[in-house]
């Protein structure tokens, strides 16, 4: 797997540091994983098969396997050091977790022996490819491996609505690419626009009242001037077209 950006997923040291940092955020990320599970179109005891693209050390798969006792996950990733950590951290699930090492740029990244899936998930992975054409192709490749009624839930980083940002595309481009890839019911059901970090420096002045007033104004600016940083994190949902199974509860939720 060739590095496409500053991430060096093939490096033991890099992955070790990245995983430690990320694990400290896992309790906060659990809320997002829960939102994702809420969109699954099956009951919690269903014997389902889930594909986790760019599974990394397995935080999403672990969350799913804990919540769905009869589910199994295939955790795909192109990084050997990442999958070593996944094998260790996911050992408690035994055969319910199957790691597979493959590069998403390879045409056969998901060999046919893995069959089809009730759902596919992905968390902050696909933007790493830095290639929107390839991401669109992967959307189609995932779509063709979903069972009828299946769903693809993708949490990823997108550029700001004004088009600025370091990522391959903005939200609207992703929604269009998902439809073109053969999904219907394509929607973004959660988004977190990153706020630009405003540096607050209160000038020390001679008068206390003046300082208080400056502080008050600065806080007001912070509260009202919600600047878009050049990225937002979004969760998208998509179902293969021609799929007659509908999930009314998730439709209801998505109208909120
Ligand atoms: C930011 S991490 C996310 C890991 C995990 N999904 C999570 O939420 O913590 C991105 C993952 O995508 C994988 N990845 C990046 N480019 C890839 C490629 N071309 N093929 C396969 N995996 C890739 C990396 O190895 C890494 O594990």
Region of residue 94 (phi > 0: left; psi between -120 and 50: alpha; otherwise: beta): left
Strand bridging mode 117-123 / 183-195: unpaired
- Which residue minimizes the CA distance to atom 13 of ligand 1? 54
pTM of the model: 0.83
Q: How much helix, strand and coil, in percent to the nearest 5, is found in the chain?
A: 40, 25, 35
- Which residue minimizes the CA distance to atom 15 of ligand 1? 128
| Tens digit of each residue's pLDDT (9 = 90 or more) over 220-253 | 443 333 333 445 677 777 888 865 444 433 323 3
Residue 214: the pLDDT is: 55
Q: Is the CB of 82 under 6 A from ligand 1?
A: yes
Residue 212: the pLDDT is: 53
Question: Per the domain annotation, does 211 fall within a domain?
Answer: no
Q: Is the CB of 9 under 6 A from ligand 1?
A: yes
Distances (CA, A) of 225 to 65, 106, 172, 198: 41, 44, 24, 10
Question: Per the domain annotation, does 222 fall within a domain?
Answer: no
Q: Is the CB of 136 under 6 A from ligand 1?
A: no
Question: Per the domain annotation, does 76 fall within a domain?
Answer: yes
| Tens digit of each residue's pLDDT (9 = 90 or more) over 31-50 | 999 999 999 999 999 999 99
Residue 191: the pLDDT is: 84
Residue 189: the pLDDT is: 84
Q: Is the CB of 154 under 6 A from ligand 1?
A: no
Contacts of 18 (CB under 8 A, 6+ apart): 7
The ligand 1 atom at the shortest distance from the C-alpha of residue 52 is 6
Q: For residues 214 and 222, is the Cβ–Cβ distance under 8 A?
A: no
Distance, in Å, from the CA atom of 81 to the CA atom of 56, rounded to the nearest integer, reads 9
Residue 209: the pLDDT is: 55
Residue 204: the pLDDT is: 34
CATH of the domain at 140: 3.40.50.150
Question: Per the domain annotation, does 250 fall within a domain?
Answer: yes
Q: Domain range spanning residue 146? A: 12-195+229-254
Question: Per the domain annotation, does 2 fall within a domain?
Answer: no
Residue 245: the pLDDT is: 43
Q: Is the CB of 14 under 6 A from ligand 1?
A: no
- Which residue minimizes the CA distance to atom 26 of ligand 1? 56
Mean pLDDT in consecutive groups of 10 residues from the start of the chain, 256 residues: 83 96 93 92 96 98 98 98 98 98 97 97 95 97 95 92 87 93 90 50 40 51 39 74 48 31
Question: Per the domain annotation, does 66 fall within a domain?
Answer: yes
Residue 87: the pLDDT is: 98
Ligand 1, pocket-test mutation among 30, 57, 78, most atoms within 8 A of CB: 78
Q: Structural domain tally of the chain?
A: 1
C-alpha 213 to ligand 1 mean position (Å): 47
Question: Per the domain annotation, does 141 fall within a domain?
Answer: yes
Question: Per the domain annotation, does 113 fall within a domain?
Answer: yes
Residue 161: the pLDDT is: 82
Contacts of 134 (CB under 8 A, 6+ apart): 104, 105
Q: Is 102 exposed, middle or buried (0-12, 13-18, 19+ CB in 10 A)?
A: middle
């Amino acid at each position: 797997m060739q590095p496409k950006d500053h991430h060096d997923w093939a490096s033991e040291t890099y992955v070790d540091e990245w995983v430690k940092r990320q694990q400290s955020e896992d309790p906060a990320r659990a809320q997002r994983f829960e939102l994702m599970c809420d969109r699954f179109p099956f009951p919690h005891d269903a014997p389902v098969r889930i594909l986790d693209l760019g599974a990394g050390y397995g935080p999403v798969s672990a969350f799913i396997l804990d919540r769905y006792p009869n589910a199994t996950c295939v955790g795909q990733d192109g990084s050997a050091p990442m999958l070593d950590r996944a094998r260790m951290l996911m050992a408690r699930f035994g055969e319910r977790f199957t790691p597979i090492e493959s590069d998403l740029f390879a045409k056969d990244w998901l060999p046919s022996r893995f069959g089809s899936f009730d759902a596919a998930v992905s968390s902050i992975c696909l933007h790493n490819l830095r290639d929107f054409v390839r991401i669109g192709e992967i959307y189609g490749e995932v779509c063709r491996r979903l069972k009828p009624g299946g769903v693809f839930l993708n949490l990823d980083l997108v550029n700001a609505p004004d088009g600025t940002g370091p990522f391959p595309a903005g939200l609207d481009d992703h929604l269009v690419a998902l439809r073109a890839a053969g999904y219907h019911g394509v929607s973004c059901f959660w988004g977190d626009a990153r706020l630009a970090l405003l540096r607050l420096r209160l000038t020390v002045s001679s008068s206390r009242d003046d300082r208080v007033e400056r502080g008050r104004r600065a806080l007001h600016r912070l509260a009202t001037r919600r600047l878009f940083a050049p990225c937002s994190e979004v969760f998208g949902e998509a179902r293969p077209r021609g799929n007659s199974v509908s999930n009314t509860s998730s439709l209801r939720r998505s109208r909120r």
